[in-house]
Structure 1
Amino acid sequence: MDLSTILKPAAVRVVGSLTSKKRLFHQLGEIAETSYGIAAAPAVDALLDRESLGPTGVGHGVALPHARISGIDQVRGVFLKVEKPLEFDSVDRQPVDLVFALFAPEAAGVEHLKALALVSRTMRDPNVCAKLRANEDPVTLHAVLTEWPRTQAA
């Protein structure tokens, strides 16, 4: 599994600012709908339900919201770079500017976990995050995200 199978270029966006975590989730749902045909309202509800279990802000300005959704057949990703960092209740209490959301089929078991682990490893790399923060072009951001695992294999 690599990120190019999870993340379409059309699902990578840069937004100026968002007023709340809920608005962020609505944005993620809208992108999931336009990019993958995932219904936005159930996607947003699933993200909010998952977030109610505990915040998915993992620190260092990164959030990895994720949810299981009925009606999809494979794990899908949406990436947002937020130009004005957003309060997110992250583990380190820092605002978030890099958000990689995952939507998985309800019965995705191990595939969901593998995808989450891959995204987590990618977003923990300080070089990846620096490149993401240094670029505004969604095509470049997609390339940074999808090339990382290939450059790490040795």
Structure 2
Amino acid sequence: MRLHELLEPADLIVDFRPTDKWDAIPRLVEHLAQRRGLTPEVAKRVEEAVLQRERSMSTGIEHGIAVPHAAVEGLDEVIGCMGIVGGESGLSFESIDGRPTRLIVLLAIPPAQKLLHIRTLGDIARVLGKETVRDALLQASGADEAWSVLREND
């Protein structure tokens, strides 16, 4: 699934300022739940699954990107949101390259859609792997501008 098709402008949080990754994940899940109308039970399952996945192995990749994700029972489609961390320091996501994370894409995937899961992760890596895209997202003044960057580069 293409990143700009998965996310709408309202799914992007520009100037996102969590204290750490353990604060970021619940805040992103809350945003996702509000945007997608998830029941409290499903939202709780998403949060627990993503946190469990993060505890087992960090989802911080490289170039300041993290993709916390999990397969979650009760979902009919892949859903996600993105936090663009404000400020200069970023967050520690225990990434492969040790760099602070500034772009966080949270995904929740139906367990039966493994292939789509892999394709979506690949698309995120392809799009956000471009330095020009990362820089433009970090400089975006709002969600509409950030989404336009994704659409133009996906």
> Please, what TM-score do these two structures have when normalized by structure 1?
0.89
CA–CA distance in 2 between the matches of 1:46 and 1:16? 22
Q: Which has the higher contact order (CA 8 A, sep 6+)?
A: 2
Among candidates 88, 93, 97, match of residue 98 of structure 2: 93
Residue 33 of structure 2 aligns with an amino acid whose one-letter code is: E
Residue 27 of structure 2 aligns with an amino acid whose one-letter code is: Q
- 2:16–2:83 contact (8 Å) kept in structure 1: no
* Structure 2, unpaired ranges of 5+: none
Instruction: Pick the structure with more strand per residue.
Output: 1
CA–CA distance in 2 between the matches of 1:127 and 1:117? 18
- The residue that corresponds to 1:65 in the other structure is 68
- 2:14–2:140 contact (8 Å) kept in structure 1: no
Cα distance, 1:59 vs. partner? 1.4
> Please, what TM-score do these two structures have when normalized by structure 2?
0.89
Matched, 1:40 2:13: no
CA–CA distance in 1 between the matches of 2:153 and 2:20? 30
**1:120-150, Cα deviation, whole Å (9 max, x unpaired):** 111111111011111121111111112212x
- 1:47–1:65 contact (8 Å) kept in structure 2: yes
Among candidates 58, 61, 64, match of residue 55 of structure 1: 58
- The residue that corresponds to 1:83 in the other structure is 86
Q: What's the % identity of the aligned pairs?
A: 31
Matched, 1:110 2:115: yes
Matched, 1:125 2:130: yes
Aligned length: 149
Q: What secondary structure sits across from 1:80 in the alignment? A: strand
* Structure 1, unpaired ranges of 5+: 150-154
- The residue that corresponds to 1:27 in the other structure is 27
CA–CA distance in 1 between the matches of 2:55 and 2:104? 17
CA–CA distance in 1 between the matches of 2:112 and 2:96? 28
